[in-house]
Amino acid sequence: DGLQDLHGLHVVVSAGPTREYLDPVRFISNPSSGKMGFAVAARARARGARVTLVSGPVNLEVPPGVQFVPVESALEMRDAMLAASESADMVVMTAAVADYRAARPAGEKQAKGSEALTVELTPNPDILAELGSNKGERVLVGFAMETHAGVERAAHKARRKNADFILLNYPTREGTGFGGDDNEVTLVRASGESEVWPRLRKTEVAERLLSEALTLHKYTRSV
Ligand code: C5P
């Protein structure tokens, strides 16, 4: 349909939550629906890009024409994202990657006891930061959810992870963020410049995100 302005580009998108198993039947996760990432993948494909979508477990249909790579854990997502990103022109990390995983996941289902249970967690790798440390000419986009000092924290995050911009949202606004069909975001550049977008359908947020990434892509390619 319509404008094929992303033709010839490879867009890699991560979506959904990750699952960090404590034993074969229990895991730590979060309520990410995957809708934002699936919207980015669908719109990028519609605008002519080759699209790879790496996603944790979600209940969504894969958009037609999109190469789908299902994963569960952050470590699996990391491997898939690093592999797919080698040939990418744009990478969009919408996934809600779990910050920690079990240090020693049990091989068998753990039985219930009456004592308190302590589980040691170890930090997961930061996939966006890793992609940023080997950025090349790729445009790199992240998302961030903050409850306070959002713009400042997002700008700091963009700089630290070497992302071109971060779309900031707040978990507290009704109907936006996790699960909903709408999103209300602020675009935050590493420079600290920010731009408040109105409440939009996630599909429309995806369109604007891709247009912004394309502007940056043309700029890097022309200097
Ligand atoms: O640090 P924080 O989780 O707030 O940063 C959010 C951004 O970083 C998102 O784009 C998310 O996909 C990415 N991220 C990541 N790997 C992690 C944690 C977050 O790529 N382990």
Question: Is 111 domain-assigned?
Answer: no
* Chain-centroid distance, C-alpha 5: 22
Mean pLDDT, the chain, rounded, equals 94
Cα 113 to ligand 1 centre (Å): 35
Looking at residue 114, its pLDDT comes to 94
Which residues contribute to the annotated binding site for CTP?
99, 109, 125-128, 143, 157, 161
* CATH number, domain with residue 183: 3.40.50.10300
Question: Is 1 domain-assigned?
Answer: no
Q: With 70 as the cut, is the pLDDT of residue 223 above it?
A: no
Cα 219 to ligand 1 centre (Å): 25
Looking at residue 172, its pLDDT comes to 61
Cα 114 to ligand 1 centre (Å): 36
Q: With 60 as the cut, is the pLDDT of residue 1 above it?
A: no
Three-state SS across the chain? CCCCCCCCCEEEEEECECCEEEECCEEECCCCCCHHHHHHHHHHHHCCCEEEEEECCCCCCCCCCCEEEECCCHHHHHHHHHHHHCCCCEEEECCECCCEEECCCCCCCCCCCCCCCCCCEEECCCHHHHHHHCCCCCEEEEEEECCCCHHHHHHHHHHHHCCCEEEEECCCCCCCCCCCCEECCEEEECCCCEEECCCEEHHHHHHHHHHHHHHHHHHHHHC
Average of pLDDT values for 102-109?
A: 96
Looking at residue 174, its pLDDT comes to 62
- Its ipTM equals 0.97
Atom of ligand 1 nearest to the CA of 145: 4
Structure confidence at residue 57 as a pLDDT band (50, 70, 90): very high
Residue 30: active-site member: yes
pTM of the predicted model as reported, rounded to 2 decimal places = 0.95
Q: What is the pLDDT of residues 184-203, one digit of tens each?
A: 999 999 999 999 999 999 99
Number of domains forming the structure of the chain: 1
Question: Is 5 domain-assigned?
Answer: no
Question: Is 113 domain-assigned?
Answer: no
Which residue, judged by its Cα, is nearest atom 5 of ligand 1? 144
Q: What is the pLDDT of residues 11-29, one digit of tens each?
A: 999 999 999 999 999 999 9
Question: Is 3 domain-assigned?
Answer: no
Question: Is 186 domain-assigned?
Answer: yes
Residues whose beta carbon lies within 6 Å of some atom of ligand 1? 74, 93, 95, 97, 124, 126-128, 142-144, 157
Cα 23 to ligand 1 centre (Å): 24
Looking at residue 220, its pLDDT comes to 78
Question: Is 112 domain-assigned?
Answer: no
Which residue, judged by its Cα, is nearest atom 2 of ligand 1? 144
Looking at residue 53, its pLDDT comes to 99
Looking at residue 221, its pLDDT comes to 74
Question: Is 194 domain-assigned?
Answer: yes
Which residue, judged by its Cα, is nearest atom 10 of ligand 1? 142
Atom of ligand 1 nearest to the CA of 146: 4
Q: What is the pLDDT of residues 107-121, one digit of tens each?
A: 999 888 999 999 999
Q: Which of 30, 59, 162, 183 is catalytic?
A: 30
- Supply the range of the domain harboring residue 189: 10-98+121-222
Q: What is the pLDDT of residues 130-181, one digit of tens each?
A: 999 999 999 999 999 988 889 999 999 999 999 999 999 987 666 666 778 8
Atom of ligand 1 nearest to the CA of 94: 12
